[in-house]
Structure 1
């Protein structure tokens, strides 16, 4: 994504003290630098700012900053990392406060900030790239990788909760009165393509499968899943040993989460262990080759959890509707972001998606 719009071409120059920026974004790959938008000021009668307004993550996937004029950081926080899922962002700016709404819910508040100078609409807006200077000077490896839709700016503090309801109803959707990708003629660069998509796609969730690639106990797995906001479940019937039986999304906009652990009780090797009380389910599966350790793997041809004579232990498999990253170790990478992957499963086999799309 790399979109440019020059406000100095407009006759109606505005001074923005209180304003709102909202948009949809779907990330397709992790990048070391990820800038959603950048706005630079220039002009004889105003101070120059390379980035008078900027929102992005620089050198670290989890730490996000918002800068405005001479206040840095205007806000600093951590955001959920997702791939191939539409997320909605709303940034509300006032003279004394910055507020971020993520997917329609209040996510971050920063109070006690004073910005003396309003934002003047005579600069350049870049979507999907940080501006290293007011005249351009972009780095190709810092471009945002993904899709952005319905990028809007209002010259007021929008009631985001009301707007969120409207954003999910195309019949009530209103474009920004300062700028909108739906109504303003923008310049697209770096092989950026424009296309139309169904409005229902914004609420579609893709089922995910994530793995703990080592042998861990039930309690350890439970704690790990709690850290990323998930819950633990076991298959209790033979017919749901096949992952795709549970991976069909019935509530496209839902946030239901399923996590499976394919561990068995050491004393009952043919039974699924339900929880840490040693309660077992009624599923009969192939034994583990009389080994002392229990292990299991996924049959990629059938997408089925089953026991094999393992030399390693892929003991815990998590299935969820929300995407969560895993940190792949044991390989050589240039930086932390290169190690981030999101496990995605279709109805044939699980796939790992990461920085390079693999």
Structure 2
């Protein structure tokens, strides 16, 4: 990567290889606006674009990312190219520097309006483990699992930005050995370490989006925690699937990493057998070498590898629209729990504790099967960037509050 007049440290969290987008405000100015993270700074993108006279100034002079998302791939590429030039060419310093804020002092907000939310189930290791936990005498994978990316339709209105506290959900659950349900707070509250994707360019109802059109529609990538109440979910999910066990909260990181930043992280996905139907085949690899880490109260408890996901985000998008369902700007879809083959690579506590039968022992000697009130979960991730650089996806965090 070229040098910057900002004198960025080689190991800075958000270097020129990343340049993620978010929405921020300050104590001095509570109005929200689009920001770009670079090192320890946040650039007021709209103000900088006006100062430079950028042709895309109108697209980024907004209180959130919605207008930029809808502008499409040529504009996205133009903004990213301009940002790189602004931070590397000293001729821009006098016009750009006044619009930088200290990243530690800003308040971050939900970066875009969530139009819709779909969550997939695309890690073979996760699906295999869940099958073994709940159906030990049967085949762990359902017959359809290797033929299509399985998903469920979630609740867009409860997608919240990182740092938002999560209230323990209450609902019906059936205690072990009982025939009738009881009502009360969830006792098996869990996380799911996932990667989210946001749609920019919409598609008309009735038209399919091919696998190879993925990058024309998806703007960027972020971290996502699909909080899950395993006891509410277990009682309700037959026959229609997740509902109240998932809909109470989904946390997303405040920084959206543009898809263009992940070119060096693209890898071949695992071999698919049987071969998917033609509409799920593409000509380019869209596996992504993202390296997640999960922390519970400061203790790293897992390192899920995204490169091993059986179904890619491009295949998920194609499947999501193959029936003619339209895409809208701000549609979010998530990968499903990211898990690897090793115990320390499992992306949820259901797997890490094998259904609660093998508690985690933390550094202070305390044990966890599922989340307790006051627990904080943080998910972080990185990816390889160009020329040996590291792309940082930031973090998504949340703390559990008692049920109300």
For Structure 1 versus Structure 2, the TM-score category normalised by the shorter chain is under 0.3
Instruction: Report the structure number with the largest CA radius of gyration.
Output: 1
User: Normalising by structure 1, what TM-score?
Assistant: 0.25
Query: TM-score of the superposition, structure 2-length normalised?
Result: 0.23
